[in-house]
Amino acid sequence: MNDTSGLGDDAQLITLDVNGTSYEVITAPRRTLVDVLRHDLRLTGTHVGCEHGICGACTVLVDGLPSRACLMFAAQAEGARITTVESLADADTGELGDLQRAFSDHHGLQCGFCTPGFLMLAQGFLTERPEASKEEIREVVAANLCRCTGYQTIVEAIDACATARRAQRAAGTEETSCN
């Protein structure tokens, strides 16, 4: 294993809960969460675009809320639930989740570099606000940068996913009431 941990005398042992798995990591205090996710845990789906919190390519969920993993030290994430893009597909079958399918259907990605950040941003937002309108979705999408798509298809993908989830829930409720 090559040494990318930047360990010094001040190395510390931390425990990170990522996608429901508990990891013990020995790390230097100055290492960011995104570097530990990518280079120590080898979860390279989360990307680094600016390292100053603007572009959002590194967006992950911290206790369910979209957060910039480049602006947090890994040690600060101890005790929190971290969720990354690797969690979105079915763990057993690899089948894409509904949000991922919507991005593909609407061509909401081209080079794919910003995509994990947008997926996690949308996943966190729709969980918090399932009734979001397209305009609200656009506002949230404006939190991250994409250089390929012009954003329209990202907004459409998230809106389509939100609409489908609402329809599914409504159908589920109906079914329940019929029973």
CA distance linking residue 116 with residue 90, whole number of Å: 16
Output the smallest distance, CB 37 to another protein, in A. 10
- Crossing angle of the two packed helices 98-105 and 152-178, in degrees rounded to 10: 140
CB of 129 to another protein, least distance (A): 16
Tokens of 28: 């230097």
CA distances 100 to 8, 123, 144, 169, 177, Å, are: 40, 10, 17, 19, 30
Residue 62 or 141: the one with the smaller Cβ distance to another protein is 141
Q: Contact at 8 Å (CB) between 158 and 102?
A: yes
Q: How far is the CB of 15 from another protein (least distance, A)?
A: 22
Least distance (Å) between residue 62 CB and another protein:
17
Q: What is the torsional sign of CA 83, 70, 73, 121? A: negative
Phi/psi at 96 (nearest 5 deg)?
-65, 145
Choice between 12 and 110, CB closer to another protein: 110
Give the binding site for another protein (CB under 8 A): 1-6, 8, 28, 30-31, 35, 38-39, 42-52, 54-55, 57, 84-86, 88-89, 94, 96, 100, 103-104, 107, 109-116, 119, 138-139, 141-155
| 46: its two tokens | 């989360």
In the complex, least distance from residue 114 CB atom to another protein, rounded to whole angstroms:
5
- Which of 8, 176 has the CB closer to another protein? 8
Nearer to another protein, 4 or 168 (CB): 4
- Which lies closer to another protein via its Cβ, residue 107 or residue 173? 107
